[in-house]
Structure 1
């Protein structure tokens, strides 16, 4: 059984939608996003942003994913900038399917001027505020960016054998191998068949097309599931993504007719322990002998019957979580 993903738990109130759109309209107008000559330069915001994103060089494929642009639209913008002498398009000899784009000297000069003008615009706006007001605005913008990043991340149910699933597990293993005093043996990772279809579930979170988090659920015993390998890329931490992955795993457990989920974690992962307690997990005695486990947790799912004794688990490996 494959549960749905990213399903809102409740509808968004119309007033929240209106407030979001109202701010968006004000901000885009205030910074000149609708002007054909963004920041007073001879190009619209779309081309200006593309020049900024190219940086030291990138593939059109990566740009398309990062900016969520239509392939044809991106190609037309790239060719226009190339005709103006601002970018250079090449095909690498090792992969003729790729098209690389890099800034020319004129392109780099224009981006530098873009930075100067954007800084001046921001400084002009902020200068009218007092220091406490600027601090308040800076904090509010940081919160808005964090929540918008989280809102833009999609969590997808995937087969445990997919390239993205295994890449996330490899990154997870490397991360905790560096954190655990005793290191980490990759043979402890879940096998694809343990977390696919009727056996369990594997979720991957994507930000702008890039895998940034994962989590696994496998069958522990009849009626009980085990959560393993909840991991978030360092660049995507402190967004609330781990809790979102955990919620998806719990929904998957309900869909698999599990009445309880269990997990264990390492002594060094104090942040994971705090998250599980905050999410309603109760610490229990060891339900399995696991070399990396120091704390064991359990959560009864909505409408669950009393689970069997933790000591009666028939699994042979526990789950180390990030």
Structure 2
């Protein structure tokens, strides 16, 4: 068996070499990767300097030097935050926006080139997703969103596709008790997604009716992000939202084919109860008193 540590280090060398992490002119634009990443993050709307520093995991001194260099190039301007003079915000100048666009074009071409070298594109992407999720675990956020939004619809589509693969007789959302989107919006309920650098990795819905009993619906975590505790974090977010809406009892249904879901529910205080709906797909029913 090959040494696991050696395999990790080989992977690290391959990635740093491929992306040009050590180049003094990243993607041929005349500045190293650190400065390019700051420019990229600002261009993507990360304007608060303190939050930008945390996102990039940089110390204050290096963050200041990188920003100063970009300011001297005329690519970025920094100024006090309008609501708090102790904080600073950074924005791209017109020249900075052009440089950001140039990096975007080159980075997209680089990514396309990487994918083009493998005949197993989807497997390669799945491996990349798993590595990115694992390494970025502490930066995965849980956001409340409209269940009709594009990221939410993506998660639900993936969830339905997985049920179709795993259920012995498939899954057709038209035959299930699909919750109305309005029941998963305040003040009745809520919908949450897990986001890794802007890409959705999971979801859960809180379906309310304005009464003290509500349901948990559509808990899903992307295969690449399983084992990272996201299911529990999503459930915690839904339970917290339920308490804020004065909901005292939660219910959910699931299918015995989803063993990992059952395990999560049993470990986090859910109790199995009798059937409470006529949905044809679930065969297990749970309740939790908050």
**Structure 1 length normalisation: TM-score?**
0.53
Q: C-alpha separation between the residues in 2 aligned to 1:226 and 1:88?
A: 45
1:55-78 superposed Cα distances (whole Å, 9 cap, x missing partner): xxxxx89x959x978884686478
1:223 equivalent to 2:212? Answer: yes
Q: Which residue number corresponds to residue 180 of structure 1?
A: 167
1:251 equivalent to 2:240? Answer: yes
The change in CA–CA distance for 1:163 and 1:47 in structure 2 (over 3 A counts) is same
SS at match of 1:213: strand
Q: C-alpha separation between the residues in 2 aligned to 1:88 and 1:210?
A: 19
1:206-241 superposed Cα distances (whole Å, 9 cap, x missing partner): 111011111001126721110010001111111100
1:172-198 superposed Cα distances (whole Å, 9 cap, x missing partner): 111111111111112233221121122
Q: C-alpha separation between the residues in 1 aligned to 2:21 and 2:194?
A: 34
**Which one has a bigger Cα radius of gyration?**
1
1:129-153 superposed Cα distances (whole Å, 9 cap, x missing partner): xxxxxxxxxxxxx99x84x633211
The change in CA–CA distance for 1:236 and 1:38 in structure 2 (over 3 A counts) is closer
1:159 equivalent to 2:137? Answer: no
Once superposed, what is the RMSD of the aligned Cα atoms? 4.1
The change in CA–CA distance for 1:295 and 1:221 in structure 2 (over 3 A counts) is farther
Q: Which residue number corresponds to residue 70 of structure 2?
A: none
Q: Which residue number corresponds to residue 183 of structure 2?
A: 194
SS at match of 1:277: helix
Please say if residues 169 and 229 of structure 1, whose CA atoms lie closer than 8 Å, have aligned partners that are also in contact: yes
SS at match of 2:246: coil
Please say if residues 183 and 209 of structure 2, whose CA atoms lie closer than 8 Å, have aligned partners that are also in contact: no
Matches within 5 A, 1:81-100: 89=106
SS at match of 2:208: strand
Please say if residues 182 and 188 of structure 2, whose CA atoms lie closer than 8 Å, have aligned partners that are also in contact: yes
Q: C-alpha separation between the residues in 1 aligned to 2:139 and 2:216?
A: 24
SS at match of 1:198: coil
The change in CA–CA distance for 1:267 and 1:230 in structure 2 (over 3 A counts) is same
Q: C-alpha separation between the residues in 2 aligned to 1:183 and 1:71?
A: 50
Aligned residue pairs total 205
SS at match of 1:156: strand
SS at match of 2:280: coil
Please point out which of 232, 237, 262 is paired with 2:226.
Answer: 237
Runs of 5+ unmatched residues, structure 2? 1-12, 46-51, 57-89, 115-129
Q: Which residue number corresponds to residue 102 of structure 1?
A: 109
Runs of 5+ unmatched residues, structure 1? 1-30, 54-59, 82-86, 90-99, 109-141, 302-322
Please say if residues 203 and 220 of structure 2, whose CA atoms lie closer than 8 Å, have aligned partners that are also in contact: yes
SS at match of 2:215: strand
Please say if residues 212 and 232 of structure 1, whose CA atoms lie closer than 8 Å, have aligned partners that are also in contact: yes
Q: C-alpha separation between the residues in 1 aligned to 2:105 and 2:154?
A: 32
The change in CA–CA distance for 1:101 and 1:263 in structure 2 (over 3 A counts) is closer
Q: Which residue number corresponds to residue 274 of structure 2?
A: 285
Deviation at 1:294, TM superposition (A): 1.2
SS at match of 2:238: helix
**Higher RCO, Cα 8 Å, sep 6+:** 1
Q: C-alpha separation between the residues in 2 aligned to 1:294 and 1:247?
A: 24
